[in-house]
Amino acid sequence: MKVIFLDRDGVVNEFPGNGKYVTKLKNFRFIPGSLDSIRNLTEKGYAIFIISNQAGVAKGVYSMDKLKLINRKMLNGIKESGGKIRKALYCTHRSDEGCSCRKPEIGNVIRALNLVKQKMYSSNNRFFVGDAKSDILTGYRAGCKTILVLTGRAKRRDVGEWGVRPDYIVRNLQEAVKIIINNDVMENKKSNKKIRKRS
């Protein structure tokens, strides 16, 4: 099974701003093209997971119930557009709590892979798409190819200061999906060549 990890704010929905959170249903707005992109991945057979830090819960900015409502709105919108998210995994802890599921730690990636019965580092067709350094680090640590989208927090000029570079930098999720699907085609060609050589 082909697995894709997506950050939420700044990738799927509009970025609320540095240090801010999506705290109300009316403030959750899909980035243009993101619904079509997720539907495209779904139709191509990818298992898609949302991996997101939402420390606003631990900080008391909004409640877990509100996070669940916003998550339901997201999942319903994606479903209505023909897409499917296998599961949205949130870390609601503050950065000073040392949680293993808070990006750039990979606890939630491991949880996601367990759900689809996959081992870490077992695939060349696994991507992490995000809009921030923490996403790229998470993907790197989890053995994923990484794609930075410029619809959220980070700018292209920021990457030079990170110490780890994304495999790709693109304008939005639509461009990321093109790369992902093209990579799948290339991997299939490689597999077919190996099969022909053995036979």
> Given the structure tokens 């705290």, which residue do they identify?
23
Q: Which residue has 């990006």 as its token pair?
A: 103
H/E stretch holding 50 reads strand 46-53
Question: What sign for the dihedral angle of Cα 161, 164, 165, 171?
Answer: negative
Does an H or E element contain 126, and which?
strand 126-130
Largest CA distance in the chain: 61
Supply the residues annotated as catalytic: 7, 9
Is the separation of the CB atoms in 139 and 158 below 8 Å? no
Element (H, E) at 90: strand 87-91
